[in-house]
Chains A and B, each alone.
Chain A
Amino acid sequence: MSLSDEQVSAIAELARLSVPRDALRGLAQELSAILDFVAQMNAVDTSGVEPMAHPQDVPQRLRPDEVTETIDRARYQAVAPAVSHGLYLVPRVIE
C-alpha cells in the first residue's frame, strides 16, 4: 500500500488538517508503512465472522426521553474562544 502525496492531501482535507508541502512526502511514507503493517490482517479469512461492536455483545442502553438536567450556559461558555450574547462567534460565513 503506497499513498501518493495527492491522496494524503485529500485525506488531510477530509480531516480538516493542513500538511505543509515539504512534509507531504515524509508523511505519505509513514502512513503507507502503517497501512502495510495493518495489511497483515488480510492473512486471515474472516468471511462469515460477525464484526464485534462490544466485547459482551451488549447493545447501547437507551434512557427515557426526559429532561434530566438544564445547561448552565454561562458556565459552559466560559471556556469558549469567543462568545457574545450567549452565542459562539466564528468568522462571517454568509457575505
Chain B
Amino acid sequence: MTGESLHLESVAGLVRGLAERRFSSEAVTRHFLDRIARLDARLNSIVTVTAETALDQAREADGRIARGQPRPLEGVPLLHKDIFCTQGVRTACGSRMLDNFVSPYDATVVSRLRAAGAVMLGKANMDEFAMGSSNETSFYGPVRNPWDTERVPGGSSGGSAAAVAARLTPAATGTDTGGSIRQPAALCGITGLKPTYGRVSRWGMIAFASSLDQAGPMAVSAEDCAHLLRAMAGFDERDSTSMNRPVPDYVAALEAPVDGLRVGLPREWFGEGLDAGVAEVVESAVAVLRELGAEVREVSLPHVGLSVPAYYVVAPAEASSNLARYDGVRFGYRCKDPRDLHDLYVRSRSEGFGAEVKRRILIGTYALSAGYYDAYYRKAQQIRRLIREDFLRAFETVDVLAGPTSPTPAFRIGERTRDPVSMYLSDVNTIAANLAGLPALSMPAGFTAGLPVGLQLVGRDFDEGRLLGVAHRFQQATDWHRRVPPGFE
C-alpha cells in the first residue's frame, strides 16, 4: 500500500502495516490530517481537529513499535464523537451550551482506546446532545452525506459516520440511544455496532437517556469494529450500570461459521413505510446469508410497533432530568447580565439549548409532572418489558434477527425538520434494540438510487461476537463496505 492510498487501509491492515513497519503512525496520521484539511469543508463532519496531540501520540506510537512494545491499536488514528469528554479538548456535544466546555477529564471510552495505543485525530460533529436523526440539530451546522452532499448523513453520530465513509478517519466512536450509531452507519454505507446495555462504560459520555445510551464502534468493516470494541468494552466501577462480565476476544470470534445459523426476519420490519428500493437490497442481502448456509425464517415481534411511542416518553423523560444540570452555574453557557438567579437559569438554558433539545425537555417534563407519571413513564416502561419479551421469545427459535436498519435511504437536508414525528420515524427499526438493551449492528448491504442501504442484525444479550462474525462472513462475500463515495477516493 503506497502513501497515497493509506486511507483505504482497514484498521486491521493499519495494525499489521504499522507492526511490520511498512509505514509509520506519523505518516498515517499526517495522511488523515491532510485529508481532513482538504476534504471536510464539503461535509462539516469534524468540529475539532487535534492535530498536534495526534502527531505527538503518533510519534509515541512509533517509538513503542520501534521498541517492540506495541499495544493492540498502537498508532491507529480515530475520531471521537464530541459527546465523549476529552481532557484538555473542547467537548461541546453539538450544543452552544457546552461550546466553551474544555473537559477536565477523559471518558472511560477515550482513556481505554488511548491505553490501547489509538491516536485521536479530533472530535466529530453530532446532533445537539445526540437528539436527532439527521445531524441537523448541531450548533455547528449540519453534516453532509458524502454520497450526496444535499442529503443528511443520519444522526446523531452523523459526523462519525460521514468521516468514516469519506475515509477521513479509519474509525470513530459513536453513541446510540435509539439508533444513533446504526442509522447513520446505514445512511453513509459503513458498519456500526451498538453493544448490549452495560457492555461499554458510560462514564464521561454526556448523558442523554441513561437507561438507553450505549457507546460503540463505527468503521468500514465488522472486523475493524471488532478491533475497536475489544478495546472499548469491559467493566468500569465508575459506571453503576456497567456489567461485570469477561470481554471475549471479538477479533478471534470473527471466524465463526455462518453455516446453520438461524436468522429471523421480523415481519413488522418489512411492512408499511419500507422503501421499495431498500426492500430489494435487504432481500438480496438475506439471500447472501442463505448462500453462506444460514437458515432464514419469518418471526414476529408483536409489540415492536410501539417502540417509537414508548421511546418518545422514556428518552425525553430521562433527558429532561439529565439536562437539568445545565443551569449556568458550574460550567457551560451563562447568559449575559442575569437579573437574579431565576433569570440566570431561564436565560442560560433558553439561549444555550436549541429547538429540538427544548422540545424534548418539555415533553419529558410534562411526562414526569405530577399526575402524568403513570400514564406516560410507567406505561412506557411496561411496554419496554413487552418488547423485550417479544425478542426473547423470537430468540428461542432463531440466533439473530435481520432487517432494514432504516426504512429509507438518506433523505434531503431540510426534508423532515418541520415535522418532528416524521423525523422520529427514521428510527422505527432501531429503537426496539435500545428499549430491550440488546446488541445490534448495521452493515452495508447494497445501494438504491446511488445511496447506501444498511442491513441490521440484532442479537441476544452480550452476543456482539456473533453479530460481528456474521457481518464479517457477509463482508468476505460482498464488497459493499469497500465502496468509497465519488470524490473521496
| A-to-B contact residues, CB < 8 Å | 3, 8, 11-12, 14-18, 27, 30-31, 33-35, 37-44, 46, 49-56, 58, 60-61, 63, 72, 75-76, 78-82, 88, 90-93
Are A44 and B436 in contact, CB atoms less than 8 angstroms apart?
A: no
B337-348: CB near A (< 8 Å → 1, else 0) gives 011111111110
List 28 A–B pairs whose Cβ atoms lie within 8 Å, in order of A's numbering. A11-B366, A14-B365, A15-B349, A16-B345, A17-B358, A18-B347, A31-B359, A31-B363, A34-B363, A38-B312, A39-B309, A41-B306, A41-B380, A44-B303, A44-B383, A55-B437, A56-B461, A58-B198, A63-B237, A75-B104, A79-B331, A81-B329, A81-B333, A88-B329, A90-B344, A91-B339, A91-B340, A93-B341
Report B306-329 residues with CB < 8 Å from chain A CB. 306, 308-310, 312-313, 320, 327-329
Are A79 and B104 in contact, CB atoms less than 8 angstroms apart?
A: yes
In the complex, whether B361 has a CB less than 8 A from a CB of chain A is yes
Are A17 and B378 in contact, CB atoms less than 8 angstroms apart?
A: no
Other A-B pairs, 19, CB within 8 Å; known A15-B349, A34-B359, A51-B385: A11-B366, A18-B347, A34-B420, A40-B305, A41-B309, A41-B310, A41-B313, A46-B382, A46-B386, A56-B197, A58-B198, A58-B243, A63-B237, A79-B102, A80-B329, A90-B338, A90-B341, A91-B343, A93-B340
Selected from B349, B362, B381, B436, the residue in CB contact (under 8 A) with A51 is: B381
Nearest-neighbor residue (CB-CB) of B305 within chain A: A40
A16 to B81 alpha-carbon distance, docked (Å): 28
Q: A16-B345, A16-B349, A61-B240 are in contact. Are A41 and B362 (CB under 8 A)?
A: no
In the complex, whether B388 has a CB less than 8 A from a CB of chain A is yes
In the complex, whether B300 has a CB less than 8 A from a CB of chain A is no
Are B349 and A17 in contact, CB atoms less than 8 angstroms apart?
A: yes
A3 partner residues in chain B, CB cutoff 8 A:
366
Are B380 and A91 in contact, CB atoms less than 8 angstroms apart?
A: no
Q: A16-B349, A76-B104 are in contact. Are A52 and B359 (CB under 8 A)?
A: no
Q: What is the interface residue range for chain B against chain A?
A: 35 or more
B397 partner residues in chain A, CB cutoff 8 A:
none
A43 partner residues in chain B, CB cutoff 8 A:
306
B287 partner residues in chain A, CB cutoff 8 A:
none
Are B312 and A37 in contact, CB atoms less than 8 angstroms apart?
A: yes
Selected from B240, B341, B350, B384, the residue in CB contact (under 8 A) with A52 is: B384
A30 partner residues in chain B, CB cutoff 8 A:
359, 420
Distance (whole angstroms) from the CB of B241 to the closest CB of chain A: 7
In the complex, whether B101 has a CB less than 8 A from a CB of chain A is yes
Distance (whole angstroms) from the CB of A83 to the closest CB of chain B: 9
A42 partner residues in chain B, CB cutoff 8 A:
379
Are A80 and B331 in contact, CB atoms less than 8 angstroms apart?
A: yes
A36 to B329 alpha-carbon distance, docked (Å): 36
In the complex, whether B129 has a CB less than 8 A from a CB of chain A is no
Are A46 and B383 in contact, CB atoms less than 8 angstroms apart?
A: yes
Distance (whole angstroms) from the CB of B388 to the closest CB of chain A: 6
In the complex, whether B421 has a CB less than 8 A from a CB of chain A is yes
Distance (whole angstroms) from the CB of B51 to the closest CB of chain A: 23
Are A49 and B385 in contact, CB atoms less than 8 angstroms apart?
A: yes
Are B346 and A33 in contact, CB atoms less than 8 angstroms apart?
A: no
In the complex, whether B211 has a CB less than 8 A from a CB of chain A is yes
Are A38 and B365 in contact, CB atoms less than 8 angstroms apart?
A: no
